[in-house]
Amino acid sequence: MPTMRMQADIVLSWGLRVRGTRARTLARLLLATGSVEKTLGLSPAEAVALGGAPGCEELLVPPSADGLAAARDGLGALGGRAIAICDPEYPALLREIADPPPVLFVRGRTLSNVPVVGVVGSRRATRTGLEAARRLSAGLARAGVVVVSGFAHGIDAAAHAAALDEDGETWGVLGCGLDVPYPAAHGRLRERVLAGGAFLTELPPGTQPEPWHFPARNRIIAGCARLVVVVEAAPRSGSLITARCATEAGRDVGAVPGPVLGEQSAGTNALLKDGAILVRDAADVLRELPDADLARLRPAARPEAGDATATPADPDAARVLLALDAVEPRPADELAAVTGLSAARLSAALVLLELEGLAEALPGALFARKAPRA
């Protein structure tokens, strides 16, 4: 039985050398057995049967010690680690895509098992786009959502920074090795992400950024997220690749609308025309999360009366609050249809929201979100 140190070395060696078809085979083996130890205990015939490819038993051969110690020491000096797809820290949703990385290199905080939303967009963003990304990401972070993006210039950087400004968690998915300072101008932001989030990549340390790395990187962003929001995108933007990856993975795609004559909004407006979710703020995104995700949002301290920015800890109340609007009151039957709650659960949630000063009952059996105090 391999020791924990030996297992860690084997995972590291897989991350350093396994690519392409063999990576997909390795992911199948690890997911089928559920652990590195059980995978290494397979017989050659069992490995072929589970992996579905002749020759996959070669993946189970212990790695050569040549160069492995240096790679281990280098990763350790970064404060990094290699995690296999069966590791509890590995993002759960990422396991579900068609081509998940069997090994991720991670640097920073332990990856949280909380709802994740992708926020991506143009590197050459407009001021309006940057502000939209900041407001959206700040609102998501306040609710306890992890904001994942690609650590590029423009929208990505604005999303990461805004989440950190709210003491939220953010993940940067890289198209290079963990030790490569790219983009070079993001030195301060890199330090902040390491303190309040994490970097992820399937590429070994020392791997330089290449154009073909980024489309593959985009599938990881989409795979980690329950929903991907594109803030600004030109017609040929890489962010549209992320949106396509999200669609292929069965994830929802949202887009922030922009001027019809603006080149930077052509991609997002096209997404909206094709049926993407229209996103104006974090509330629009939170409304799309399933009940299981809403239940894992950050519980707010009991709000003061009239504090309409708070998130109630009760999942039913949180779902109803997201369905309410401060300007357009909604009747109870419409709220029941939107939230999927029974009449009894809806009534209880509305009472809780009224007691917490987050909602109000109006004449005619209408309900509205309590407008924030000036």
Tens of pLDDT along the chain (374 residues) come to 567 778 888 999 999 989 999 999 999 999 999 999 999 888 888 888 888 777 787 888 777 767 788 889 999 999 999 999 999 999 999 999 999 999 999 999 999 889 999 999 999 999 999 999 999 999 999 889 999 999 999 999 999 999 999 999 999 999 999 999 999 999 999 999 999 999 999 999 999 999 999 999 999 999 999 999 999 998 888 899 999 999 999 999 999 999 888 888 999 999 999 999 999 888 889 888 887 887 777 654 333 334 444 566 677 888 888 888 777 888 998 888 888 888 888 888 898 888 888 888 898 889 988 765 54
Largest CA-CA distance found in the chain, in angstroms, rounded: 77
Rounded Cα–Cα distance for residues 146 and 119 (Å)? 10
Please check whether residue 105 lies inside any domain of the structure: no
Structural domain containing residue 267: 116-286
Contact 208, 184 (CB under 8 A): no
Rounded Cα–Cα distance for residues 204 and 130 (Å)? 31
Same domain? For 66 and 214 the reply is no
Same domain? For 343 and 257 the reply is no
Same domain? For 140 and 282 the reply is yes
Same domain? For 275 and 142 the reply is yes
Same domain? For 148 and 279 the reply is yes
- What is the sign of the dihedral through the CA atoms of 296, 297, 301 and 304? negative
pLDDT score at 313: 65
Burial tier of 357 (Cβ tally within 10 Å: 0-12, 13-18, 19+)? middle
| CB neighbour list of residue 287: distance below 8 Å, 6 or more residues apart | 322, 323
Same domain? For 213 and 235 the reply is yes
pLDDT score at 68: 87
| CB neighbour list of residue 297: distance below 8 Å, 6 or more residues apart | 114, 115, 143, 144, 145, 286, 311, 318
Angle at 369 (CA atoms; ends 365, 370), nearest 5 degrees: 110
Same domain? For 248 and 184 the reply is yes
Contact 197, 173 (CB under 8 A): no
Same domain? For 197 and 341 the reply is no
pLDDT score at 34: 94
Question: Mapping DSSP to helix (H, G, I), strand (E, B) and coil, where does residue 283 land?
Answer: helix
* Listed residue (73, 76, 90) closest to 35, CA to CA: 90
Strand order in the sheet with 366-369: 330-331, 366-369, 359-362
Same domain? For 218 and 270 the reply is yes
Please check whether residue 107 lies inside any domain of the structure: no
Contact 246, 116 (CB under 8 A): no
Same domain? For 313 and 266 the reply is no
Please check whether residue 109 lies inside any domain of the structure: no
Please check whether residue 35 lies inside any domain of the structure: yes
* Listed residue (256, 250, 248, 201) closest to 226, CA to CA: 250
- What is the sign of the dihedral through the CA atoms of 35, 41, 45 and 46? negative
Query: Tell me, what CATH number does 330's domain have?
Result: 1.10.10.10
pLDDT score at 302: 31
Please check whether residue 61 lies inside any domain of the structure: yes
How many CA atoms lie less than 13 Å away from 261 in the CB half-sphere? 0
Please check whether residue 120 lies inside any domain of the structure: yes
pLDDT score at 300: 47
* Listed residue (81, 142, 85) closest to 115, CA to CA: 142
pLDDT score at 292: 83
pLDDT score at 296: 78
Please check whether residue 80 lies inside any domain of the structure: no
Strand order in the sheet with 103-108: 80-84, 103-108, 197-201, 170-173, 146-149, 116-120, 227-230, 252-255, 277-278
Please check whether residue 79 lies inside any domain of the structure: no
Domain final position from 55, 74, 93? 74
> How many separate domains does the chain show?
3
* pTM exceeds 0.75: yes
Same domain? For 124 and 270 the reply is yes
Same domain? For 145 and 222 the reply is yes
